[in-house]
Every structure is written in structure tokens, then in C-alpha cells.
Chains A and B, each alone.
Chain A
Amino acid sequence: MPNISNSLYNIRVLEDLAAGKTYIHQLHPLVKLLTTVCYLTVVVSFGKYELSSLLPLLLYPVLIFALAELPLQPLLKRLLFMEPFIIGLGILNPFFERQPFALYGLELTLGWAAFLSLFIKYQLTVIAALLLIATTEMNKLAGALRLLKIPRLFILQFLLTFRYISLLMEEVVLIQRAYAMRAPRQKGIHISVWGSLTGQLLLRTYERAQQIYEAMCLRGFSGEYHMGGQSRIKIRDWTWLAGWILFLAAVRLYDLPEKLGLLLMGVVR
């Protein structure tokens, strides 16, 4: 688990990026959500030893990064942060499968092919999810969920949770600082105060919820959450979705790199 300032910073970075105004940012959130889901499905639908057919899928993140003018560093850093997890899970593959596997004339074992394939898929899926949230504001994403008939109550509490994470994290910073000043050179919270320290945070949470509820009532809250104007899905949004579905279908059905290679070799010969 990352530390607090890191987490807060991460949320803010993504929120700031999502507030951009590029072509990608202006695409309808529902279309972006659906495209992401299609992309993820196609990536994970590839077989366990697939390598070369996966490569064209890289076009998607590259295009989004470029079109949405996103900085590479903060997003790739998030990706790197999770890397040990997937390496730990996949690294056993090479030990279990030692049958030979040929890739472009290189001698590999099946296990290594499976590991590499898993590794590539992991990068693609994680970055695709991050790109969705880095180009779509939370409120708009909630609107898209509403269009998918996800009940209001769920969306409302989802948004509330998201909104209050940073507030409560700031409370934790205060509590931890106070604790650290009274208990120097301790690695974590001592067992004698586990309950009271976290419990205090919980009580503050309850007070906060009470205040929020009263504020909501004063503003006429009646159990409904109004999203405000939803933009309509335009032709360019449909085109975006249709284009990617076509591309993904082509990638899934044909080994594009090999076709490209054969074409090129044919031309060269």
C-alpha cells in the first residue's frame, strides 16, 4: 500500500489530467468506457502463449497518449509500481513448462512464452484502465454509468466515497502526525491504541457524514442525485467506438505483424 501523500498526489494528478480539453477528453464518457471494456476483453482473450499478435494492441495506448496530450511519466510510474506483483505471479511459469517454443527462430520454452505474454497483457490492461480515468472526469464517468442503468443510489455513494477520500486522508495525516510526535521512533501504531486511534478516525467520519447529511437536507436533498445535463452521443463518438471495434476484431482474427512482415518481404523480394 502506498503512503498517504503518494496516494493523494496520485488521485489529484489523475483528476487534473482528466480535466483536459482534447479530442479524447471530449469524447462521450460512455463511448470511452465501452471502448476500454472491448479493448480489455480482446487483450485478455488472447491465448496463453500469444506474443506477436498482441503487439498491434499497443497502438491504442500510444494513440490515446498522443491525442489526449498526456504526460508519460506519472502514468508509467503507476505501472512500474505494480510490476513486482505480476512478475511474482508469472515467474513460476518458466519452471513448470520447459517444452521448446519457437519465436521468430529464437528458441524459447513454453513457460517463458507464457510469462512474456502475461507480462505484455498486464501492461496493456493496466494502462488502458488508467487511460480511461486520466481522460474522463469522475462525474462524467458516473453519468456514463447512469446511462448503463446502474442505480442512482450506487452511483451517489460511489461519488461520495471518491470525494471524501482525500478529506479523510488528510484527517489521517493529522492523526498520524500527532501520534508520531508523542511516540517517536516507532515503526507503526502500537497495539494498545489500535482501537482508539482508528476509532477516533471513525467517529470523525460519522460526524462528517452527519454534517454532510444535514447540508444535503438544507439544500433540498430527497434521495435523488441529479447529474445535470448529459451530452448526447454524437456521430464522432460512434465512429470512434466502431473504429476500435473493427481494429480489435482485425487484431483478434489475424496475426497482423506477420501479415505486415509477409507483405513487406514480398515487396522486398
Chain B
Amino acid sequence: MHMADALISPLVGGTMWAAAAGVAAYSLRKVQAEMDNRKIPLMGVAGAFIFAAQMINFSIPATGASGHLGGGLILAILLGPYAGFLAMASVLAIQALFFADGGLLAYGCNLLNLGFFTCFLAYPLLYKRIMRKGYSAKRILGASMLTAIIGLQLGAFGVVLETLFSGKTELPFSTFVLLMQPVHLAIGITEGLVTAAIVTFIWKTRPEILDRAAAGRQTGNVPLRQVLIGFALAAVLAGAVLSWFASANPDGLEWSMLETAGMTELAAPDGIHQALAGIQRQTAFLPDYGFKAGDSAENSGASRETNKGGTLQGSQEIIQGASQGTAPSESEAAWPAVSAGTSVAGLVGAGMTLGLAALIGLGISLLKKKQRPLITSVPGSGSKSLQG
């Protein structure tokens, strides 16, 4: 359920980044407060363990399919929620950087979807409560299953919301939810089963590991409220700041919200659309390039309004930009009329742009080849150990 950069808008990405950073900072403070230095390498290596364990194929009985470990829950169980969240943050960062599994701008979304819901909601509210009565194989199984399933359902729902607010795909809300939730129910069941199997094994062979993890947590037992308040504050603040910046972009949150609202049949009256559009035009500090300043913007806005009945204004602005551009002679043309002149110019320009990019690349490569000596040096392996 790793989200890619292309699926999110800067506003959603930035807001989630801020919220994730807030949770991470809070976790760091908690971990530092309770920390014996021993836990640092354990956190690091536990993250690496998740990577390695993800490579193991578990065959699921009676289905012929195989599943993998996700990792958030086992990290929370072994390290406690704070250190577990941080270890998850490292895992996701490396997945994003080295495996293109989740984007850099979407990192905040991914960390919240995969780390926050499991470590800070499902784990303390479900797993810890159930396990308070003491360990038994059955209880471990029940607690792990429930926690993994709920955590993943929340995460999957997070993906749906973030995607919809970003407004990059046209999937209707209900379709998306119906696609995501059942798939992640199956994933959650596998996750729960594998986690329970591992925890049971550890409980039987090395119970002190679980005891130590549980003991370490006691000192860091903080009301969830604080985390949630900090989380909400960070998100609201970032959202407010970023939406000011994003007000120049037609794909900002306000547009996608309107679009989403349209999909779920909560259609806002035209008055609000127009008022918002007006506010957006006034507050935009970067004028949209499809418009001429002043009157013509109003005119072209109005003409498009009549064309499409005021739906999806944001998209129309873009279409306007794409098909008509800024050519002054075309500014009166009603959408979607396309002048042959501009479209040929656009085609030529696009071709030229790609050609130029290719030429620049090839030119530099050729120059470099000329300068380079015949014997190329082999790059060093770069795998220095941290232990030293």
C-alpha cells in the first residue's frame, strides 16, 4: 500500500509530511527519555530484520497463494510503539530510496498509513489491552490478528482518503474503498497469522525478549491524547501554510474536495464554486498562466462557466491552458475550440523540447567520452561497516 509521488498533490504530501514529522519527533523524545544505548543497535537491526523477513514466502494453507510480512506490528511488539514507529520510518525511507517503493513526497503519507495507525492506535488500544492478562498462545493469536487487521484497514482507508484529496485519479470514493479494504483484509489476516507465529515462538524460546520490551514501554507510557493533539496541530498548521502556497494551483485541496464532493453526490451549490473561484483568483500569488490578468480572466471564466455548468472548474482551467495557452489571438476563443495554429505550434514545441533534451544529454555524454581516459576506474564498493 505504498503510495507513489505521482498520486498525491503537494498539499496533501506536505500536510502528511508535517504530521509524520510531528509523530516522529514525539517518538524520538520518548525513546530518548527511556533509552538505554543498547536499544539503538536493536532498533537498527530490527528494521533490517523486517526487510529480510519480507523476502520470506509464507505459503497460505488451502489457497495456493503465498503472503509476506509487512512489519509494523512486529516492530511495535518487539520495540514498543515509539521505537517501533522510528524503525518503520527507516524501513520506509530505504524502500522509497532504493526500491522506488513509495515516493519521497508521499513518504509522510506512507509513514502514517503503515506506521502510525499500527503503532499508535491499533497496538496500544488492542494488542496491549488484550495482552495485559498475560501471555498464552491463543491470546497472542487473537491479539495479533485483531491488531494487524484493524491497523491495515485504517492504513488502507488512509490511502483512499489521501488519494482522493489529491485528486489525481478519477476513481469514485466507493469504488476505491471497495477495492482497497477487502484486499487489505486478506493482507491483514496473513500479517496477523505470521506475527502471532513469530511472537509465540519467541515467547516459548526467549520469553525475556518480550518481557524486556514490555518493561521498557512502561516508563514511556504516555496518554495517546498528547500524540493525537500534536498530530492534529501539525497537520492543521501545515495545511494552512501550504494551502496558501497551493492556492495558485488549480489542483489544490479545495478543487479536489469539490470534485470528491461531486462524486459522492454532496454537490456544492454553484454559488460556493464561484465564490471559491473568485477567492482563489484574488489570493493566487502566482497568476495561472492560462489567464490574462483582469477582465479577460473574468470573461473567459464566465464563458467556460456557461459551457460546462460550473463543474470541475479546476480541470477546465488546465484544459484552457493546455489547448489554448497564452496566445493573445486565441484568448477569446470559447473552450473547447482549438485553433489549428496553436496546436501545430504546440506539437512542434513539444517535439523540439524532447529533441533538445535528448541532444543535450547525448552531447554531454559524447563530450565526456572524449575526455575520459581509456581505462575507466571501477567505483569502490562503498560498503563500509558502521561498527568501526
Contact = CB atoms under 8 A, between A and B. Distances in A.
A26 to B, nearest CB: 14
Interface string A147-179: 000010110111111111111110110011000
Contacts of B175: 92
Given A16-B382, A62-B358, A191 B59 contact: yes
Interface stretch (B1-9, B127-135, B233-241, B268-276): B1-9
Interface string A101-128: 1111100001101100010011011100
Contacts of A158: 44, 89-90, 93-94
Interface residues of A, number: 137
A47 B360 contact: no
A129 interface: yes
Interface in B140-180: 167-172, 175
A67 interface: yes
A151 B25 CA distance: 8
B348 A47 contact: no
Nearest to B52: A168
B379 A260 contact: no
Contact of A126 (B49, B100, B198, B362): B100
A237 interface: no
A203 B206 contact: yes
A199 B205 contact: yes
Interface string A49-66: 111110110110011011
A163 to B, nearest CB: 5
A249 B280 CA distance: 20
Provide the main secondary structure of the chain A interface. helix
Interface in B60-113: 60-61, 64, 66, 68-69, 78, 86-87, 89-91, 93-94, 96-101, 103-105
A241 interface: no
The winner among A51, A52, A65, A160 for most chain B CB atoms within 10 A is: A160
Contacts of B377: 21
A21 B35 CA distance: 39
A7 interface: yes
A257 B57 contact: no
Provide the main secondary structure of the chain B interface. helix
A202 B71 CA distance: 12
Contact of B360 (A62, A97, A160, A259): A62
A194 B198 contact: yes
A55 B353 contact: yes
A15 B345 contact: no
A172 B85 CA distance: 24
A235 interface: no
Interface residues of B, number: 131
The winner among B103, B321, B345 for most chain A CB atoms within 10 A is: B345
Nearest to B42: A209
B52 A201 contact: yes
Interface stretch (B116-124, B214-222, B294-302, B312-320): B312-320
Interface string B178-207: 000000000000000110111111100110
B99 A20 contact: no
Interface in B31-56: 31-32, 35, 37-38, 40-49, 51-56
A195 interface: yes
Given A41-B10, A164-B45, A264 B352 contact: yes
B375 interface: no
Contacts of B196: 195
Given A1-B55, A114-B169, A154-B24, A164 B197 contact: no
Contacts of A89: 7, 169, 171
A129 B360 contact: no
Interface in B336-388: 336, 338, 340-350, 352-354, 356-358, 360-365, 368, 377, 379-388
Interface of B: 4-10, 13, 24-25, 28, 31-32, 35, 37-38, 40-49, 51-61, 64, 66, 68-69, 78, 86-87, 89-91, 93-94, 96-101, 103-105, 167-172, 175, 193-194, 196-202, 205-206, 209, 246, 249-251, 286, 289, 314-315, 317-319, 321-323, 325-327, 336, 338, 340-350, 352-354, 356-358, 360-365, 368, 377, 379-388
Task: Pick the 9 closest A-B CB pairs, nearest first.
Answer: A160-B44, A261-B349, A188-B59, A195-B197, A199-B201, A161-B47, A257-B349, A261-B345, A47-B318
